[in-house]
Amino acid sequence: MSFLNPVRPAVFASALLALLAACAGSPPTTPDVATNATATTAPRIPEQVSNAAWETDMQRFAAEDAQSPPPRGGVVFTGSSSIRLWDTLAQDFPGVPVINRGFGGSELRDSTWYADRTIVPYAPRQVVIYAGDNDINAGRTPQQLRVDFIAFVERVRRDLPKTKIAYISTKPSPSRAHLLPVQREANALVQAEAKRLGVDYIDIFTPMLDAKGQPDEALFIDDRLHMNAAGYDIWQRVIAPYVK
């Protein structure tokens, strides 16, 4: 005579099937964590960066650093194409360990977002930034540029509280002469904030105007946006007293 309850095998089978179904329907936890991490670290466009394509530049900088690590405690020049195209930067500031981390087409908020890859790793004694020109051309207001400037300063000082910061004003380009009034307003707002925050403000707008108060065509290449050697000569002369 068997003493097994004939109901128990059926109950056991049902419970086992329910358990298997529950396991199969439960999503794994690891991919969810990875997805959340990506969502919180990827820059939002256009709130945090103007273009996600700057990742290519970041990888280029990393490759250059791996091949020839820059010195710590130097002077980082960062910002948009006027910095990136400054091929004579090292020669123009002899004896200064300069690091060029400009990426063309970038805006001020791009330099803020990528500071952990273009500024912080080098622990520079000074950061010199040129950004704002592309921002205004893209439609950002002087008030937005002011806020972006404050955010950049706060970002640098979060990790590098002793690092000096110098901001180069937007330049007057012939191809963007219609934006001169907006640039003047933006420059004035940033200059006021720079004084409040203890940041050096470098005016290259004024010395790049001609006798009529218009952008000096003689300082630019054919695209009327980027500078030639004469333009960079002015930059070197004006910026040199601020490089420490």
Q: Which CATH architecture has domain 54-242?
A: 3-Layer(aba) Sandwich (3.40)
Looking at residue 128, its pLDDT comes to 98
What value, to the nearest 5°, has the Cα angle with vertex 41 and ends 40 and 44?
Answer: 80
For the chain, domain boundaries: 8-41, 54-242
Does residue 126 sit in helix, strand or coil?
strand
User: Is the distance from CB of 119 to CB of 79 less than 8 angstroms?
Assistant: no
Q: Order of strands across the sheet with 164-168?
A: 98-102, 75-79, 126-130, 164-168, 200-202
CA-wise closest residue to 239 among 106, 73, 82, 50: 82
| DSSP string covering 228-242 | -HHHHHHHHHHHGGG
Put simply, whether the predicted model's pTM sits higher than 0.85 gets the answer: no
C-alpha neighbours within 13 Å on the C-beta side of residue 184: 10
164 Cβ contact list (under 8 Å, min separation 6): 125, 126, 127, 200, 244
Does residue 84 sit in helix, strand or coil?
helix
Strand partners, 98: 75
Q: pLDDT for 64-92, tens place per residue?
A: 999 999 999 999 999 999 999 999 999 99
CA-wise closest residue to 237 among 203, 212, 211, 213: 203
Band of pLDDT at residue 147, cut at 50, 70 and 90: very high
Looking at residue 145, its pLDDT comes to 98
For 128, phi and psi rounded to 5 degrees?
A: -115, 120
CA distance 103 to 118: 10
Q: Is the pLDDT of residue 23 over 90?
A: no
Q: pLDDT for 28-49, tens place per residue?
A: 333 333 333 333 588 999 899 9
